[in-house]
Amino acid sequence: MADLKIKIQKLELKNPVMTASGTFGYGEEYTDFFDISKLGGIIVKGITINPREGNPYPRMAETASGMLNAVGLQNKGVDYFIKNIYPEIKNYDTNIIVNINGSTIEEYIQVAEKINELDKIPAIELNISCPNVKEGGMAFGTNCSSAMAVTEAVRKVYSKTLIVKLSPNVTEITEIAKAVEEAGADSISLINTLLGMAINAETRKPVLSTITGGLSGPAVKPVALRMVWQVYNSVKIPVIGLGGIMNASDVIEFILAGASAIQVGTANFIDPQITVKIIDGIEEYLNKHKIDSITELIGALEV
Amino acid sequence: MKKIQDFNVYANHRLNSDTFILELKAPEKLPEIFPGQFAQLKINNHPQVFLRRPFSIHDVDYEKNTISFYIKIIGEGTRSLQKLNKKNSINAIYPLGNSFSLPKKINVLLVGGGTGVAPLLLLSKSLKNNNISPVILIGGRNKNDILQIKEFEKYCKVLITTEDGTLGEKGLVTQHSVFQTDKFSFKKIYTCGPELMMKAIGKFAKKNNIECEVSLENTMACGFGACLCCVVETREGNKCVCTEGPVFNIKDLKWQI
């Protein structure tokens, strides 16, 4: 039997399949469909220091092989999470990772400090790449000095595994990756959504209330693969790949490009059981190719 | 509990040039389905259709173990569903969302505009089973839009309006004589249809202090509360139409009516 176990520094995953923030709620939305303890990890919906209502409707547009969203980090705030959601999800036998957000460095620090106190949360994903908020979010992740500053600040107050989620909406992804590595990140996840827009030709109006939004789904996979490969070749810390993964073959491609683990996002909306099918598919691939451990494939792209 | 299952197509019959009833047979005993709930249907092998499509459950037959949908061809997804036949199967996530509330024995009016009649058949049936004899007002542009009359007549008294006057009273739904306030005796209105129509009905209900429930159809990606795309503004903040709706009491919505 092939070994699917993966380590992201101190973080141990039973398999490389995690769910992407904003596509899996807090996990409980999926418990009717399958045993979420089968997952390598769950990255919960992005959390901020104060509650956020998010952006006005409409927040979604279907596009060719993908979708745009402009949710805008709707959530009830970190204190609500700790009091009401954490007790419900902390005992699932998987890694619950909290995606944290802020408008200022101070807000990121405040959320990270509070999450650091939670025993059953082994890691955070620092979101410096949300394209749908007016302040903070992507603004931190599209500039080396601000990406470094926020990572350094959170590193000082957060002792467990620190993953930094990068935006693809940059000129040179490797520069940002190197900056957050230097600032103390344990791992890098990429890509967040690509900035896009949709227009209704009949009404001459934008489809989304925010005009622009984040593109996800298989339409972005080639961009994500390219960026994972570039980042893998420019940093030493483990890379977590995401962007348009729909099946096990997509996962193998990301791992060959250099990802140590992956996240499934938009595909969860279409098939809420997709992650279990993907885990089975990875195992089949390894058995078929007589590979003992998934780790043998990390960065094994032959060029 | 939500289920994800492959259904076989049991029947697919046209009602007019662009509207059809798709009846699907469940692989196992159906769970209880409440009026107003919906399903997310997967469209197979269509390059332009990426997400599932949500449809209100129009009718349930627990003996045949089938659920049916009232569908109008709007785009590629619905066009693809119209082509399904008995050899096909289709994946559905169901039953999703909340449901209309069933009142004690009072007079109720159902108002359906266009495809908005979709969830009202199962509601009519449930009301009838609760010893309430509802009246339904169905509106459309012309007589070709007024469908399923015989089905509704099993449970309701049916009133009709058409914009061109080819069937029933002439005019918009909201102009029907049933809304003459001096004669209006209903204690509750349930409505589904175009947003402008629902807002006009809601305005009438609010002004006359009548309970009113509306079924919304905001665009959504998942249908089970994960994507947070389908929100509607309520007095308690943004709520997901898929999990906290699709049925809302107009008192809870922040509609400017």
Per-residue pLDDT tens digits for A266-303: 999 999 999 999 999 999 999 999 999 999 999 999 99
Q: Are residues B88 and B142 in the same domain?
A: no
Q: Are residues B118 and B60 in the same domain?
A: no
Q: Are residues B158 and B186 in the same domain?
A: yes
CA A283 to chain centre: 22
Which of the listed residues B74, B96, B118 is the one where a domain comes to its end? B96
Is the bond leading into A16 cis (omega within 30 degrees of zero)?
no
**Count: domains in chain A:** 1
Evaluate if residue B221 carries a pLDDT over 80: yes
Evaluate if residue A130 carries a pLDDT over 90: no
Give domain status of residue A67, yes or no.
no
Band (pLDDT 50/70/90 cuts) for residue A132 is confident
What are the angstrom distances between the C-alpha of B114 and each of B35, B64, B93, B111? 18, 28, 25, 10
Q: Are residues B159 and B123 in the same domain?
A: yes
Residue A97, pLDDT score? 98
**What CATH number does the domain containing B60 carry?**
2.40.30.10
The CA distance from B80 to B58, in Å, is 19
Least Cα distance to B215 among B21, B54, B4, B42 occurs for B54
Q: Are residues B47 and B145 in the same domain?
A: no
Determine, for residues B224 and A45 on separate chains, whether the beta-carbon distance falls below 8 Å.
Answer: no
Give domain status of residue B28, yes or no.
yes
Give domain status of residue A147, yes or no.
yes
Q: Could you say which of A59, A269, A270 has the minimum Cβ distance to residue B231? A: A59
3-state secondary structure at position B8: strand
Q: Are residues B31 and B54 in the same domain?
A: yes
Residue B182, pLDDT score? 84
Determine, for residues A29 and B225 on separate chains, whether the beta-carbon distance falls below 8 Å.
Answer: yes
Determine, for residues A54 and B226 on separate chains, whether the beta-carbon distance falls below 8 Å.
Answer: no
Residue with tokens 């990802």: A259
Give domain status of residue A154, yes or no.
yes
Mean pLDDT of the B75-84 span: 96
Mean pLDDT of the B59-74 span: 97
Mean pLDDT of the A114-127 span: 98
Give domain status of residue B156, yes or no.
yes
Q: Which of A60, A74, A273 to substitute to test the interface with B, most B CBs within 10 Å?
A: A60
Q: What is the mean pLDDT of chain A?
A: 96
The CA distance from A109 to A101, in Å, is 10
Mean pLDDT of the B213-238 span: 97
- Contacting A with CB below 8 Å, chain B residues are 1-4, 42, 47-52, 93, 218-233, 237-238
Give domain status of residue A253, yes or no.
yes
Give domain status of residue A208, yes or no.
no
Residue B232, pLDDT score? 98
Residue B225, pLDDT score? 97
Evaluate if residue A245 carries a pLDDT over 80: yes
Which of the listed residues B76, B96, B116 is the one where a domain comes to its end? B96
CB contact at 8 A, A71 and A54: yes
Q: Could you say which of A33, A57, A266 has the minimum Cβ distance to residue B231? A: A57
Band (pLDDT 50/70/90 cuts) for residue B103 is confident
Residue B231, pLDDT score? 98
Give domain status of residue A90, yes or no.
yes
Taking one residue from A and the other from B, the number of pairs with CB-CB distance under 8 angstroms is 91
| Whether A267 contacts chain B with CB within 8 A | no
Residue B47, pLDDT score? 80
Residue with tokens 């979010």: A137
User: What ipTM was estimated for this complex?
Assistant: 0.95
Mean pLDDT of the A207-220 span: 97
Model pTM score: 0.96
Give domain status of residue A289, yes or no.
yes
Q: Are residues B135 and B82 in the same domain?
A: no
Residue A290, pLDDT score? 97
Q: Could you say which of A25, A59, A63 has the minimum Cβ distance to residue B229? A: A59
Mean pLDDT of the B160-187 span: 93
| Whether A56 contacts chain B with CB within 8 A | yes
Give domain status of residue A131, yes or no.
yes
Q: Quote the percentage of chain A above a pLDDT of 90.
A: 95
Residue B48, pLDDT score? 86
Q: Could you say which of A53, A64, A66 has the minimum Cβ distance to residue B238? A: A53
Q: Are residues B117 and B198 in the same domain?
A: yes
Contact partners, residue B137, CB within 8 Å, separation at least 6: B109, B110, B111, B112, B159, B160, B161, B173, B176, B178
Which of the listed residues B96, B124, B152 is the one where a domain comes to its end? B96
Band (pLDDT 50/70/90 cuts) for residue B90 is very high
Determine, for residues A53 and B218 on separate chains, whether the beta-carbon distance falls below 8 Å.
Answer: no
Least Cα distance to A31 among B37, B2, B38 occurs for B2
Residue-number span of the structural domain to which A94 is assigned? 6-55+73-196+216-297
Could you confirm whether A144 is annotated as catalytic?
A: no
Q: Which of residues 4-23 of A touch B (CB under 8 A)?
A: 22-23
**Count: domains in chain B:** 2
Q: Which of B48, B49, B50 to substitute to test the interface with A, most A CBs within 10 Å?
A: B50
| Whether A216 contacts chain B with CB within 8 A | no
Least Cα separation, residue B152 to chain A (angstroms): 33
Q: Which residues of A touch B227 (CB under 8 A)?
A: 22-23, 60, 69, 71, 269
Least Cα separation, residue A293 to chain B (angstroms): 32
Least Cα separation, residue B255 to chain A (angstroms): 13
Least Cα distance to A109 among A187, A48, A176 occurs for A48
Least Cα separation, residue B93 to chain A (angstroms): 9
| Whether A221 contacts chain B with CB within 8 A | no
Question: For residues A174 and B106, which has the higher predicted lDDT (pLDDT)?
Answer: A174
Q: Are residues B119 and B190 in the same domain?
A: yes
Q: Which residues of A touch B221 (CB under 8 A)?
A: 60, 67, 69, 266, 269
Residue A285, pLDDT score? 98
Evaluate if residue B149 carries a pLDDT over 90: yes
The CA distance from A16 to A4, in Å, is 7
Catalytic residue among A130, A180, A278, A279: A130
Band (pLDDT 50/70/90 cuts) for residue A169 is very high
Mean pLDDT of the A76-80 span: 98
Residue-number span of the structural domain to which B188 is assigned? 108-215
Evaluate if residue A138 carries a pLDDT over 90: no
H helix intervals, A22-66? none
Q: Are residues B34 and B119 in the same domain?
A: no
Residue A192, pLDDT score? 97
Q: Which residues of B touch A30 (CB under 8 A)?
A: 224, 226
Band (pLDDT 50/70/90 cuts) for residue B240 is very high
Band (pLDDT 50/70/90 cuts) for residue A30 is very high
**What CATH number does the domain containing A113 carry?**
3.20.20.70
Q: What is the mean pLDDT of chain B?
A: 96
Sign of CA dihedral A71, A76, A81, A82: positive
Mean pLDDT of the B214-229 span: 97
How does pLDDT run across B127-148, given as a tens digit for each residue? 999 999 999 999 999 999 999 9
| Whether A45 contacts chain B with CB within 8 A | yes
Residue B104, pLDDT score? 84
Determine, for residues B221 and A71 on separate chains, whether the beta-carbon distance falls below 8 Å.
Answer: no
Lowest mean pLDDT among A48-57, A134-143, B125-134: A134-143
Q: Are residues B206 and B114 in the same domain?
A: yes
Mean pLDDT of the A116-145 span: 90
Give domain status of residue B102, yes or no.
no
Determine, for residues A273 and B4 on separate chains, whether the beta-carbon distance falls below 8 Å.
Answer: yes
